[in-house]
Amino acid sequence: MSDGRSRSTSTADELRRHILRGILLPGEHLGQAELALRFKTSKVPVREALKQLHAEGLLDHDHNRGYFVTRLSFEEGIQLYRMRRWVEYELLRGIRWPDEAEIARMRCLLARLTKPRNPQERETWFLTLEELRHLTFSLTKYKVLLSEAFRLWALTDRYRALLPTERSPDQEQNLIDALEARNRKALLDAYMSERKRVETSLAEAFGAEHEELENY
C-alpha cells in the first residue's frame, strides 16, 4: 500500500471514530482545512476520507455547502436496536458455556467499566464494553448471525454515543453471572432486561413518548 493510500485510510479511520463516538456531532459541517489541521495531514487524504465515509452513509454531501455528519433519527435508531435484539437473542440461545479462563477475562473487563469522568475515559469505557461484547457473542455457534451482528453493531455505534455511560454495570454483571452459572433462562432474561433499558434510554435521548416506543 502506498503512503498516500495509507494516509487516506488512517484519516478515514480516525474520522469514522470521531463520528461514531459523538466527538463530531450529527449535522456538523466538516471543512477540509479544519479536518486536515485536526488530523495533522494534508487536504488530499481528508478529501478521500470524506468520500469514503459518504459512501458508508456516515456523511451527507451538498455540492454547494460540502460535507455534514449525517443526522440521527429515533425511527432509524429504534429499528436498528430492535434488529440487534432479535439477532443477539438468537446468538445467546446458541452459545457454548465459557470456561474458567473466559469467565475470568469477562470479570476483568467488567471491573474496568467504571463511570468515565472525561472524554478519554469515556473512549476507554466504550472500547472495554466492545471487547466484552465480542468475547460474549463470539461463543455462539451461529456464525452467519454473528456476522450480521457485527454489521448492526457498526450501524448502532453512533446512537450509542447518545446513551448514558454514567451507570453501574449491573446488567453486564448479571449476564456474566448467568454465563458462569450456565443458566440459559437467567442469561436470556438478563439480556432482555438490558435491551429494554437501552431502548428506553434511546427514546429518552430523542424525547420520544412511551407510545412511540411501544409502536416499534
> What pLDDT score does 57 carry?
84
d(CA 52, CA 63): 16
Is residue 3's pLDDT more than 90? no
pLDDT, residue 8, reads 84
Mean pLDDT of the chain: 89
Collapsing DSSP states into helix, strand and coil, what is residue 95? Answer: strand
CA distance linking residue 6 with residue 1, whole number of Å? 6
Separation CA 128–CA 172 (nearest Å): 12
CB atoms within 10 A of CB 176: 21
DSSP string, 1-64: --HHHHHHHHHHHHHHHHHHTTSSPTT-EE-HHHHHHHTTS-HHHHHHHHHHHHHTTSEEEETT
What pLDDT is recorded for position 1? 46
d(CA 177, CA 190): 10
> pLDDT tens digits, residue range 139-188?
999 999 999 999 898 888 888 877 776 677 888 999 999 999 999 999 99
Is residue 161 within 8 Å of residue 21, measured between CB atoms? yes
- C-beta separation of 81 from 74 below 8 A: no
Strand ranges of the sheet holding 29-30, from the earlier edge strand across to the other edge: 29-30, 66-69, 59-62
CA dist 110 → 68, 151, 154, 168, 170 (Å): 36, 24, 22, 10, 9
% of the chain at pLDDT higher than 70 = 94
Task: Tell me how long the chain is.
Answer: 216
For the stretch 58-100, pLDDT in tens is 899 999 999 999 999 999 999 999 999 999 999 999 999 999 9
**Reported pTM:** 0.79
Label residue 122 by pLDDT band (50, 70, 90): confident
Q: All domains of the chain, ordered by start, with CATH? A: 3-69 (1.10.10.10), 74-214 (1.20.120)
Rounded CA separation 41/47 (Å)? 11
CA distance 86 to 174: 20
Is the Cβ–Cβ distance between 132 and 172 less than 8 Å?
yes
Per-residue model confidence (pLDDT) at position 6: 82
